[in-house]
Every structure is written in structure tokens, then in C-alpha cells.
Amino acid sequence: METGICIENKKNFKQGIKEGVPIFMGYFPIALTFGLIAKASGLHGGLAVVMAFTNFSGASQFIGVSMLAQGSGIGNIILTTFMINARYLLMSFCVANKLSSSTKKKIKGLLAFGLTDEVFVVSMTKDELEPSFMFGVQFISHIGWVGGTLTGVILANILPKSVSGSIGIAIYIMFLGLLLPAIKGSMKIAIVSIIAMIISSIIYWVPFLNKICGNWRIVITIILASLIGAKFIPIEEGVCDE
């Protein structure tokens, strides 16, 4: 019986790796860019790889490196990361509902760490999730992210300083790449994004507000734009399957 379960787990794990290959291919070049940007921003290459390994969240990593380059405090960065990644709490509830009832809590905790937007999408295509399948998807995805970051760090040491120093512009391209698809699919998200830009610009350009807010501008912008959006232009979301 145990041998049969072991064979089934291996089969599910391999299937997860197979279905996670497209995620690997998408993560690797983005993570490579992150490695280049991290080095260009003055972050030690080893720390960039550690950040990729332990954080595993593209948007928060890019923003974190940008905030470090601007001299933001650790508390500010942690709070911003928490708010950016708060959506994973809801995603985790949805995934937990699809996991087999025999899944142990410590296994669920490990699966929660490797949950990303793309992994979530793959998970939602299954009627019932097996932990071994999810581990397969997350394993190959994580390799793509950490491997891409390491490659970017290595390339940053090889490329001429004139090239690696200018790679910082890629962070803005990355943010646009994350934002534009969402804006294209929802007018409400576009409006909230514009509101956030206006709030951030006001705080930055008004000397009094800039002096008060300082490096907390991103956090304050996120909170105010989110509150305004939730109050006046809420988005109706579908609930997870029970």
C-alpha cells in the first residue's frame, strides 16, 4: 500500500514539473533581469540570490531593491512587501480548499511558501490537488526564479559597467509589464492605477508632504489608492469553490 502511494506521489510530482515548465520559462528571464538590477542598485550578488530564494515574489523583490537604492528603512520595505503580497493570503485559502483532506498542516505551510500567481492559476485548473503535484510545479518554478537571478548576477559581473549601470531602467519596464495587462483587462484597475500615480506625484512634488512622508511615500500611496478604490469602485471577485 505504501509503495503504491509512493509511486503515485512520484507520478504526480513529475506531472507537476511538466506543467510547471512554462512557468520556469517565464520566470527565468524576469529573474535574470532582477539579478542585473540588484547588482546595478548596489546589492551584493549573494544577497540578491538569497532574496530570490527566500522571498520568491517578483513584484516585491523589484520594489524592495528600488527602495533599498533610495535608502528606505527595513521597516518600510517589510510593510510594503507585506501589502504587495497580501493577496496570497486569499489565494492560499482557495488552494487549501482543493487540497486532499489528508494533507498535513506543515505540508500546507510549505505549499503556501511556493504559491505565486502562476502556480495559483495552474492549481485552480485541478478539481482536487495533490501536494506532490503542487510541489512539482513549485519546484521547477523556484529553480527558474533562483537560477535566473544567479545568472543575472553573474552576467552583471561580466558586462561592462556602462551596460550594467544602465540596466536600472529595466525596473520601470518590468513594472509596466506587470501593470499593463491588468489595466487592459479592467477599467476599474486602470482608474485605481491613475489615482495611485496622482497621489504619489502629489506627495513627491509638494515639498511639505514630501518632507513628512519621506520614504513612506510608496506605502502611503498603496494604502490611500486601495481605500479609495475599495470604497468607490469595488471589483466584484468570484469566490473560491467550496
Q: Which long-range contacts (CB under 8 A, 24 or more apart) does 157-160 make?
A: 157/39, 157/45, 159/36
Q: Residue 15 in contact with residue 123, Cβ under 8 Å?
A: no
Same domain, 69 and 158: yes
Same domain, 113 and 152: yes
**pLDDT for 96 beyond 80:** yes
Rounded distance between C-alpha atoms, residue 200 and residue 217, angstroms: 7
Same domain, 143 and 215: no
Same domain, 136 and 170: yes
**pLDDT for 91 beyond 90:** no
Q: pLDDT, tens digit, for every residue of 220-242?
A: 888 888 889 888 877 655 545 44
Answer with the one of 175, 197, 223 that is the final residue of a domain: 175
Higher pLDDT, 160 or 167: 160
Q: Residue 36 in contact with residue 155, Cβ under 8 Å?
A: yes
Q: Is 181 part of any domain? A: no
- In the chain, which ranges are E strands? none
Q: Is 28 part of any domain? A: yes
Cα four-point dihedral sign 29, 35, 39, 42 = positive
Q: Tell me the three state secondary structure of residue 127.
A: coil
Q: pLDDT, tens digit, for every residue of 174-184?
A: 566 657 766 77
Where b means 16+ CB within 10 Å and e means fewer, 89-113 reads: eebbebbeebbeeeeeeeeeeebee
Nearest alpha-carbon partner for 103 in 85, 87, 123, 121: 123
Rounded distance between C-alpha atoms, residue 151 and residue 229, angstroms: 39
Same domain, 159 and 91: yes
Q: Residue 143 in contact with residue 17, Cβ under 8 Å?
A: no
Q: What is the mean pLDDT of residues 133-139?
A: 94
Same domain, 162 and 195: no
Same domain, 171 and 191: no
Same domain, 220 and 109: no
Q: Is 240 part of any domain? A: no
CA dihedral 177, 179, 182, 185 (to 10 degrees): -80
- In 31-189, which ranges are E strands? none
Q: Is 170 part of any domain? A: yes
Q: pLDDT, tens digit, for every residue of 188-229?
A: 888 888 998 999 899 889 988 888 877 678 778 888 888 898
Q: Is 242 part of any domain? A: no
User: Who's near 238: CB < 8 A, 6+ residues apart?
Assistant: none
Same domain, 170 and 190: no
Q: Residue 167 in contact with residue 40, Cβ under 8 Å?
A: yes
Q: Is 180 part of any domain? A: no
Same domain, 139 and 208: no
pLDDT at 52: 93
Q: Residue 147 in contact with residue 31, Cβ under 8 Å?
A: yes
Q: Is 7 part of any domain? A: yes
Q: Residue 77 in contact with residue 97, Cβ under 8 Å?
A: no
Domain that holds residue 225: 186-235
Rounded distance between C-alpha atoms, residue 31 and residue 176, angstroms: 16
Amino acid at 221: T
Q: Which helix (H) or strand (E) holds 98?
A: helix 87-98
Cell representation of residue 37: 538590477
Same domain, 170 and 74: yes
pLDDT at 2: 46
Same domain, 37 and 105: yes
Answer with the one of 136, 151, 175 that is the final residue of a domain: 175
How many domains does the chain contain in total? Answer: 2
Answer with the one of 126, 149, 175 that is the final residue of a domain: 175
Confidence category of residue 165, pLDDT binned at 50, 70, 90? low
Q: Is 65 part of any domain? A: yes
